[in-house]
Amino acid sequence: MTTAVLMAVILGLLYIGSSDQPESDSVQIPISLKIDAPTPSGVPDSQAYPEAPSLWREVTVAAGDNLSTIFSDTGLSSLDLHQIMQLGQNVQVLKKIIPGRKLLFDISSRGELNALKYELGPLESLLITKSDNGFAANNLTYKPKVFQTFRSATITGNRPSLYESGKYSGLSDSILMELSYVFQWDISFALDLRQGDSYSLLYEENFLDGVKVRDGEILSAQFNNMGKTYSAVVYQSENGERNYYTPDGKSMRKAFIRDPVHFSRVSSSFNLKRLHPIHKRVMPHRGIDYVADRGTPIVASGDGKVSIARQNGASGKYIVIQHGEQYTTKYMHLWKFARGIRAGKRIKQGQLIGYVGSSGWATAPHLHYEFLLNGVHRNPRTVKLPQAEPISDSERERFLEQTAGYVERLHGLSRPPELALTGE
């Protein structure tokens, strides 16, 4: 190359690299500093270096999903799926995966399935792993950490129901439902709540890896209703049965619960001089009307035998249950009966018997509930109910030892009434 040509190239390079252009218009081109190392001799490319670690991929089951479509969408082999489904009884749950549950796939960098995990519940999973011998399935059970939690709330004008006051104080739906079950024999949550009533409870919460996975059971609770205080503690007997008792050992259970429809409201009470809303004339109202959405579950208020389960023009679909020789309960205007409910069927207290509807002479969905003693209509709200057996003398000492701590802790944590949640 001549000297003149060389000088021209140098000047050109200087011109290109000059900073005459505005800085904002300059372009930076990245330069790769990577050096490709040679593959060791005699080793196939696929084994020359360690494979990149696999990653868990999470899939939330949607409505209409099945494992076959999820495998296809995830790019996994249908052969693997077939082999997994041959693993026996453990994997039968995968035939009907539940919307909202999670599936986790451990997929290698080559797109091969190493493992699959399906959540059976908050504390249980099905784990399927692959080895040289094929796939294997195992159920995993996780042991949570259990903490005791205290909550209290007050019924107010702004929050007049158990549900509204409980949600405001941080209680879950499941705990509120259990609380209503604990006191369902003494308190009608549709009729008896008054502004200023208050309640407190000590219950368990289960945590896994620092995350709450579910509520446990109520250990002790107290409800102040219309000037009267009701207290309850849980006790597990020597034969393993768990029930609620008063702190001195009387059973919370009675022969009948007050409300056969939970979390409802009363539109018409027991009144022998009521003006009928349809016929516009005085007609005795020999029961209580519970207003609830169509399809709301109705439960039997006591143990007994179904004597009638049919339909007529006035009562619509209705059920009559005989409870021994003295007591009878009636449930009217149902949408439909629960599966298996028919005349002659024996049922247990709290068992599902039907669903709220508006059949017969009804202006809107509700349950008309009647309570009879020796063939005479009585007010379900005020009739005195027979009580279940108390703690036996043989278990009394064990009962007091097991429950004393729950009672003391509840009382120790309970705040004075002036400090209770007001909901204002």
Domain ranges of the chain: 52-141, 145-254+391-419, 265-378
- Looking at residue 37, its pLDDT comes to 37
- Looking at residue 31, its pLDDT comes to 30
Q: If one looks up domain 145-254+391-419 in CATH, what number appears?
A: 3.10.450.350
- Looking at residue 275, its pLDDT comes to 59
- Looking at residue 43, its pLDDT comes to 38
Is it true that 52-141 and 145-254+391-419 share their CATH fold? Answer: yes
- Looking at residue 266, its pLDDT comes to 81
Spatial distance between the Cα atoms of 104 and 127, rounded to a whole number of angstroms: 9
Spatial distance between the Cα atoms of 393 and 410, rounded to a whole number of angstroms: 25
Spatial distance between the Cα atoms of 187 and 150, rounded to a whole number of angstroms: 21
113-134 b/e (C-beta count within 10 Å ≥ 16 → b):
bebbbbbeeeeebbbbebeeee
Number of CB atoms found within 10 A of residue 338's CB: 19
Structure tokens at 218: 């109520």
Beta strand 346-347 with 352-356: parallel, antiparallel or unpaired?
unpaired
Phi, psi for 183 (deg, rounded to 5): -105, 10
Beta-carbon contacts of 39 under 8 Å, excluding residues fewer than 6 positions away, are 45, 48
- Looking at residue 382, its pLDDT comes to 82
Residue found by looking up tokens 């300059």 in the block: 26
Q: Which CATH number fits domain 52-141: 3.40.50.10860, 3.20.20.100, 3.10.450.350, 3.40.220.10?
A: 3.10.450.350
Taking only the tens of pLDDT, the chain with its 424 residues reads: 444 444 444 444 333 444 443 333 333 233 333 333 333 333 334 333 344 455 788 999 999 899 999 999 989 999 999 999 999 888 999 999 999 999 999 998 888 899 999 999 889 999 999 998 899 999 999 999 999 999 999 999 999 999 999 999 999 999 999 999 999 999 999 889 999 999 999 999 999 989 999 999 999 999 999 999 999 999 999 988 899 999 999 999 988 998 999 878 887 665 555 555 555 666 676 889 999 999 999 999 999 999 999 999 999 999 999 999 999 999 999 999 999 999 999 999 999 999 999 999 888 999 999 999 999 999 888 888 888 889 989 999 999 999 999 988 898 887 554 433 333 3
Q: Could you give the count of Cα atoms lying within 13 Å of 324 in the half-sphere of its Cβ?
A: 9
The CATH class of 265-378 is mainly beta
- Looking at residue 415, its pLDDT comes to 53
